[in-house]
Amino acid sequence: MSSLEEPLGFDKLPSMSTIDRIQRFSSGACRPRDDFGMGHRWIDGRDCTTSNSCIDDDRSFGGKESFPWRRHTRKLSEGELHLLQNISISGRTSTVSATLRESKSFKGHKYSTFSNDNGTPHITHKISKGIPKFVKIVEVGPRDGLQNEKNIVPTSVKVELIQRLVSSGLPVVEATSFVSPKWVPQLADAKDVMDAVNSLDGARLPVLTPNLKGFEAAVSAGAKEVAIFASASESFSLSNINCTIEESLLRYRAVTAAAKEHGVPVRGYVSCVVGCPVEGAVPPSKVAYVVKELYDMGCFEISLGDTIGIGTPGSVVPMLEAVMAVVPADILAVHFHDTYGQALANILMSLQMGISIVDSSIAGLGGCPYAKGASGNVATEDVVYMLNGLGVQTNVDLGKLIAAGDFISKHLGRPNGSKAAVALNRRITADASKI
Amino acid sequence: MQWNGARRAHSLWCKSLTNNTHLHHPSIPVSHFVTTTMSSLEEPLGFDKLPSMSTMDRIQRFSSGACRPRDDFGMGHRWIDGRDCTTSNSCISFVKESFPWRRHTRKLSEGEQHLLQNISISGRTSTVSATLRESKSFKGHKYSTFSNDNGTPHITNKISKGIPKFVKIVEVGPRDGLQNEKNIVPTSVKVELIQRLVSSGLPVVEATSFVSPKWVPQLADAKDVMDAVNSLDGARLPVLTPNLKGFEAAVSAGAKEVAIFASASESFSLSNINCTIEESLLRYRAVTTAAKEHGVPVRGYVSCVVGCPVEGAVPPSKVAYVVKELYDMGCFEISLGDTIGIGTPGSVVPMLEAVMAVVPADILAVHFHDTYGQALANILMSLQMGISIVDSSIAGLGGCPYAKGASGNVATEDVVYMLNGLGVQTNVDLGKLIAAGDFISKHLGRPNGSKAAVALNRRITADASKI
């Protein structure tokens, strides 16, 4: 189909059945059973501080579960299937340079192969050698994503979403939040959700706890991991949780002290790590200060959130530099919002800086809380697509992930917010226009 | 070509970089912290209480760092007499022009305005590490400043030192973007779009295509568009020409620069233009020969540089082959297109490695589609590899031609937003750019496809929910 000659007959391209496609999507997915990257904090008997030091190469998929939910038929051209299988869906661990050379899809050898060994391999190494071999994805859709929804999502739907996400191989799925139902009515069913998902195997299911009361409720409900939220911006802390940063840290020390007694790991979130809607730019030193405080009080992992999505690789780097000067890189996660379309570029830059944990939200759930209509969380499917392409292991089955995103998008009655999911879901139409 | 006076005029304008056109603004006190809270944890934040900016203030701020070089078109040695600079990265000059079109009011919080001014909109040239440290927005020094000089500066240098100081943006919206539209866009609207784009500082705006109206009815008005825009100053206005006939029509219509399209995938070439790669190259040699005689520069496009909808993965060596052929036949610049948007930084790097082994990096442009959301990451990686020319489309115009509903071109506003944040100069005024994108989106009756534009356009609502 051409701007220049005649229409391309896309209806003549071969298509795949649903089962074939799902099989191909699953081909490279694998899930480590015990590798949760917990580090030394709160867990007895674990040696690995990061999944990058002990990668479970057991790809026997003993725990692989087939999932009864099936996608409706979607057509991809044969070429694209080969492409996706070899490059992006397979999740094979391969070096950046080798990915395409290994491709079996090239039919014929009409053109001479130029040697790529002279030229710019040193640039490639410089850029890609910082990138971790394994990245842990922390899925925040059921909590961070859904909490912004106006219409209450039924508990059963939340539970099914969590089940699907766990089943796709995500190592961590943030299940809910134990906050006052007065302010977050969407998550008023926190206890019921926990009751239903507590028995799920294969992923950690942390919950948000804003204070000691929430913590206690969470523990009673069977939560095995919690998370707390501080801000790097004083104004935002006052606006958002009605207290200064210092007061919030005091509050959280009570939570971490109690958590220590219960043997419950605590994750720390820092919001406004690049910019604040009230103050503007947030100095990296402030971020580093709050990160250090959370680390010192016992958080095993700290997630750096660009709450208003204003960051670019230019502002992310100095922030990471400051933070990495005070805590180890392997306990840090990045939580970028895609409000200005910058999230994946920021994630790429963070990986190059040595970050190996990324927060994201299925189907891009969770709009920007400060701007009606603006986008918020980065979509997990887009992140996984990029990581697969980089040859970085995630243990996530992209096909199952897309199915989970479609499930919740369908329930919410909205288009899937992930571009990769939309592209992979599309039907190639015969009337597709030009190049 | 009329470039002979260029060098003298150019030297008049070649100033050192931006002299901190840091816009002076009255300091707005952080008057009252909003006392009601907005939180997933406590109470809603009263955003309607935040101070807002007038339209004029906002446009002024957006314009603060914008600048436009008059003669620095990065043409290289090919076809142009009397030019020394091979790339805009060696000689940068600015001339500001004001534009009569104004944006409708939009509110940004005070904090965001400070932020955008200092970090992203200002377009100041600053090193990656210095951007935030220079920020004047930090009120008070409650926390001790950790020294950033130990720790990881070497990583920063490693990652950012490849990134060019200046990136030339080639705007393809009026051609690549609009050609996919089902409803015919009136010539006057196309012309106004091009005027607005030129006025925003974009150095190159692809105006139209001289192809058979039978296949691209949207661009049947190519000659009329050219008649209207030929006199516009400040940007180059290349047009697409698929063959000698199109080339001749373009030149008659006053085009001063053309572009040709080859594919790195044999199957795609056959499907798309009904001939093999070799046959297409033969056809294009006729065009470049004629172009040379006329003194008209030719840009080469290569499609399917990562993947092809028919063949699958495209080997980097094939891409390098086609690029070299286009370069040897006289193209001054070659744009590498990830036509189906399937590339990631992992597949883009080996492709660029192969191509950069056979042609100079400074003649290469990247043309990524955002179909899988990967475009900005791919662009970032390309910049790190030394690429300094980026194709993009205003408001993300131009869906994926292979997938109904899937997105296509990367949005120029999002690219400029990122480049501003990296301290890379583009000479583009983001405010005017956003206005141009809103103009065409409004005409098409669609939401603006640029996330940065949507975010910057938004009204902060009082009923915004939680963090």
Higher pLDDT pick, B98 / B443: B443
Give the C-alpha separation, B86 to B77, whole Å. 7
Whether A185 contacts chain B with CB within 8 A = no
Give the C-alpha separation, A189 to B423, whole Å. 46
Q: What percent of chain B has pLDDT over 70?
A: 62
Let me know if B308 is a catalytic residue.
no
What's the pLDDT tens digit per position in B334-383?
Answer: 999 999 999 999 999 999 999 999 999 999 999 999 999 999 999 999 99
Whether A151 contacts chain B with CB within 8 A = no
State yes or no: pLDDT of B34 exceeds 60: no
Q: pLDDT of chain A along its 435 residues, tens only?
A: 333 333 333 333 344 443 333 333 333 333 333 333 343 333 333 333 344 544 333 333 333 333 333 333 344 555 555 555 554 444 443 333 333 333 333 333 333 333 333 444 555 566 676 899 999 999 999 999 999 888 999 999 999 999 999 999 999 999 999 999 988 999 999 999 999 999 999 999 999 999 999 999 999 999 999 999 999 999 999 988 889 999 999 999 999 999 999 999 999 999 999 999 888 999 999 999 999 999 999 999 999 999 999 999 999 999 999 999 999 999 999 999 999 999 999 999 999 999 999 999 999 999 776 666 667 899 999 999 999 999 999 999 999 999 999 999 999 999 999 999 999 987 533 334 333
- Is the Cβ pair B135, A283 closer than 8 Å? yes
CB contact residues (below 8 A), chain A span 202-261, against chain B: 208, 210, 229, 234-235, 238-242
pLDDT at A365: 95
What's the pLDDT tens digit per position in B177-189?
Answer: 999 898 999 999 9
User: Position B348: which residue type?
Assistant: V
Whether B359 contacts chain A with CB within 8 A = no
pLDDT-derived band at B115, boundaries 50, 70, 90: low
CB contact residues (below 8 A), chain A span 325-354, against chain B: 325-326, 338-342, 344-345, 347-349, 352-354
- Is the Cβ pair B421, A349 closer than 8 Å? no
Give the C-alpha separation, B418 to B322, whole Å. 30
Q: Name residues whose C-beta falls within 8 Å of residue B27's C-beta, 6 or more positions apart in sequence.
A: none
Whether B278 contacts chain A with CB within 8 A = no
- Is the Cβ pair A116, B273 closer than 8 Å? no
- Is the Cβ pair A281, B115 closer than 8 Å? yes
State yes or no: pLDDT of B62 exceeds 60: no
Let me know the angle formed at the C-alpha of A57 by A53 and A62, rounded to the nearest 5 degrees: 135
- Is the Cβ pair B272, A1 closer than 8 Å? yes
Best CA proximity match to B356, nearest among B366, B370, B346, B345: B366
pLDDT at A288: 98
Give the C-alpha separation, A392 to B84, whole Å. 44
Tell me what percent of chain A is helix, strand and coil, each rounded to the nearest 5: 40, 10, 50
State yes or no: pLDDT of B57 exceeds 60: no
CA Rg, chain A, in Å?
Answer: 22
CB nearest B467 (choices: A82, A87, A369): A369
Give the C-alpha separation, A346 to A343, whole Å. 5
Q: Identify the residue among B27, B39, B424 best suited for mutation to test binding to A, counting A beta carbons within 10 A and taking the highest.
A: B39
**Mean pLDDT (chain B, rounded):** 75
Tell me what percent of chain B is helix, strand and coil, each rounded to the nearest 5: 40, 10, 50
Q: What does residue B184 show for φ and ψ, rounded to 5 degrees? A: -65, 125
- Is the Cβ pair A120, B315 closer than 8 Å? no
What's the pLDDT tens digit per position in B147-161?
Answer: 333 444 555 665 676
pLDDT at B255: 97
- Is the Cβ pair A4, B113 closer than 8 Å? no
Min Cα distance B352 → chain A (Å) is: 9
Higher pLDDT pick, A302 / B115: A302
| Token duo for residue A408 | 């919740």
CB contact residues (below 8 A), chain B span 56-115, against chain A: 109-115
What's the pLDDT tens digit per position in B302-317?
Answer: 999 999 988 899 999 9
Q: Identify the residue among B31, B36, B41, B49 best suited for mutation to test binding to A, counting A beta carbons within 10 A and taking the highest.
A: B41
pLDDT-derived band at B412, boundaries 50, 70, 90: very high
Give the C-alpha separation, A327 to A334, whole Å. 14
